[in-house]
Amino acid sequence: MKRRLIAIDLDGTMLTHNKTILARTKQTIKRVRGLGHEVVIATGRPPRSSVNYHRELELTTPMVNFNGALIHDPARPELDIHFPMEREVALQILGECKRFGVDNVMMEIKDRYFAQQIDELIHFLGDGSDPTGVGPIERYLLEHPTSMLIRTSKETIQPLRETLNQSFGGMVAHRYWSAPYHVLEVIKANISKATGLEILVDQLGFAREDVIAFGDEENDLEMIEWAGLGIAMGNANPVLKKVADRIADTNENNGLSSVLEELFLKDA
C-alpha cells in the first residue's frame, strides 16, 4: 500500500473528553506506523500542551501548532517555522478589545503566554503552567505574537468579529469557540492547519493526495477540505461534516481507531 501521511487533531478527535488517548487508539497508531505510514499532530494548542501526546505516541514527525501558525519538531529545534501576526496590528486589536470591554485577553508568543488577568480561561488553557506575565498586554507585546485569545460575552462576539473583519480583514483571521467560554482566537490571515500540512508534505516526501486528515471543529475545516481524504468525527461541528469525505464514529467511541483499522489493518 502507498505510504500515507495521517494528520490528526487533538481535542475532540484523538482525545476523549478527559483529554486522554484511548488505549485502542495508541495501539492502532503504533500498528499503522509500523506499516510505514506517518502520523502528524495538527492542533490549535501551543507546544507546551501538546508535546506530551507526541511523546506518548512516540512520534518522530514535526507538529502543527496554533492552527498552522507554528510548525516545529520537538526532536529538531532547527525546524521552527513561525507565522506570527504583526505587532502593530495586535496593538490595534487590543485597542478594540478595550473599546468593547472584553473580559480577558491572552497572548501567545510561540510557547510563552501572557494574560491580562488570571481567570477561568487561564486555568482552562494554561495547562498548569503560569503565564510569563500578567497585566496590561501592551506591556508584554514586544514581539510579533503567534496568537491572541479574546474572552468576552456572547453578545459581544458578533460585533467584535465584524469590527475585526472591517478593520483587519486582510491581516488576521479569527475563530470562535463557544464552549466552555466565549472566545475569539486571532491569528495571522491565510494561515490554517492546511497551510502547515502543505509545508510538511514537502518536508516528509508526500503529496497532497497522500494526506488523510481527521478533525471535529471549525479550525479543522481547511485541513479536511485540503486533504486527499478528509474525515470528520461523529461529534464534529455540522459545518465540518458537510465538507468531509466521510464521517467516523465519535471520539469517545473509538472513531479514529475504527477508521484507521478499516483503511490499513483489515488485511495486516
- What distance in Å separates the CA atoms of residue 83 and residue 64, rounded to the nearest whole number? 12
- What distance in Å separates the CA atoms of residue 221 and residue 156, rounded to the nearest whole number? 24
Distances (CA, A) of 117 to 51, 161, 181, 189: 26, 22, 15, 27
Strands 147-151 and 172-177: unpaired
| From 9, 103, 216, 220, active-site residue | 9
Catalytic site includes residue 220: no
Q: What is the largest CA-CA distance in the chain?
A: 60
3-state helix, strand, coil in the chain (%, to 5): 40, 25, 35
Q: Which residues contact 156 (CB under 8 A, 6 or more apart)?
A: 100, 101, 102, 182
Q: Which residues contact 120 (CB under 8 A, 6 or more apart)?
A: 181
Measured distance between the N- and C-terminal CA atoms of the chain, rounded to whole angstroms? 11
- What distance in Å separates the CA atoms of residue 122 and residue 222, rounded to the nearest whole number? 27
Tracing cell 460585533 back to the chain, one arrives at 159
The residues carrying an active-site annotation are: 9
